[in-house]
Amino acid sequence: MAVWALGLNHNTAPLDLRGRFAFALDTIAPALKGLREQHLRHPEAAILSTCNRTEVYCASEQVQVDHTLGWLAQAGQVPVDALRQHTYTLQGDQTARHAFRVASGLDSMVLGEPQILGQLKDAVRAAEDAGALGSTLSQLFQRSFAVAKQVRSSTEIGAHSISMAAAAVRLAGNLFEDLGRTRVLFIGAGEMIELAATHFAARQPQAIAIANRTLERGEKLASRFGAQVMRLADLPERLHEFDIVVSCTASQLPILGLGAVERTLKKRRHRPMFMVDLAVPRDIEPEVKQLPDVYLYTVDDLAQVVQTGQASRQAAVAQAEVIIDAGVQSFMHWLDQRDPARGVVPLIRQLNAQADEWRALELARARKRLAKGEDVEAVLEALSRGLTQKMLHGAMAELHAAAPDARDDAAQAIERLFLRGTHK
């Protein structure tokens, strides 16, 4: 089996292009169906889609990168040549290394951030539910989870990392002298909003509100922070009440447009607003950033803040890479064993076939002797002796025929094969 991956991330593609390839979890199953049908041979497949990356992992008898690229370009309605400039392709051990680095947080905008591991597990479950995951990718991802666990438990890779949420709080603190006198609005109720709300709530703002498409989910999150809840439909009338707005939804279209924010600023008499758009695709129209009284930051804008302090963790990165190297070698060894051209599978099949042939031959002889009325015990004794002689014939012949300088090696090999576990 060949494995390959095709992707684009925060290092290779701008935010708006990444937004064209964002897959919500409930769209993964039909996307995987279309992806597999696009290929000449239906491969195993999984799609990882986050605000920082979209990656397609595949396994099949032959690498089919061009088909994968063609499908992804079609899904995002982008010309193939234009997309190719912003993507990276990986094959074989490079694919395993990349998957292990992603799971461990080494390829994230926030070095060592833990959210990516949960997102990768969600992607794997979605592929399993869609029937797109076979033994090869299952093995790849299960090993990536194990490597990530070892990296996080054995190194300091996640220590002192600055999350997007913490970076947002830091920037807000630069604008507002006292966050305790601000009113904060969160749009959405997912994992990123929960993380952001936790960080902002620690600064004890004057008020917190959560706007969500469904009130039930918003109320569940609001109860943790003593926040009020509103519907997205209420935003135009109430947006002016808030000094800080943090948005992260799965909407495919912007929730806050230029006109709505302009009207909000008039109601606020142009008091400044701090806005953070953590969504991909965007929740807030990019033109809003040009307004003089708005300080708008996207996930990419926060990158420089997040990078601070990473130099002190380079030793941990080196330790993590050693663990990942071992994981890659182990996975490739497993993959090689399954390769009929290079692995031990053909030899195992030959051994089984030879053993079956010997067994059938001795059984046929035993049945003939039993049919003649010979003693059962004598027939069983002859059967067991015949099988034993056939099994040991090759080893005995090798010992007798081996040259003196090779006899010791032959003896050690035979001892490992036939006498394992017999020594006390």
Q: One of 51, 103, 196, 244 is an active-site residue; which one?
A: 51
CA 38/CA 67 separation, integer angstroms: 7
Residue 58 catalytic? no
Contacts of 29 (CB under 8 A, 6+ apart): 126, 129, 130
CA 420/CA 93 separation, integer angstroms: 33
Among 254, 235, 242, CA closest to 294: 242
Extract the tokens encoding 63. Answer: 């690498």
Extract the tokens encoding 424. Answer: 């006390």
Burial class (CB in 10 A: 0-12, 13-18, 19+), 305: middle
State the CB neighbour count (10 A cutoff) for residue 13: 22
CA 244/CA 183 separation, integer angstroms: 6
Q: Which long-range contacts (CB under 8 A, 24 or more apart) does 391-394 make?
A: 391/355, 391/358, 392/418
**How long a stretch of residues is the chain?**
424
b/e map of 318-354 (b: 16 or more CB within 10 Å)?
A: ebbbebbeebbeebeeebeeeeeeeeeeeeeeeeeee
The residues annotated with a catalytic role in the active site are: 51
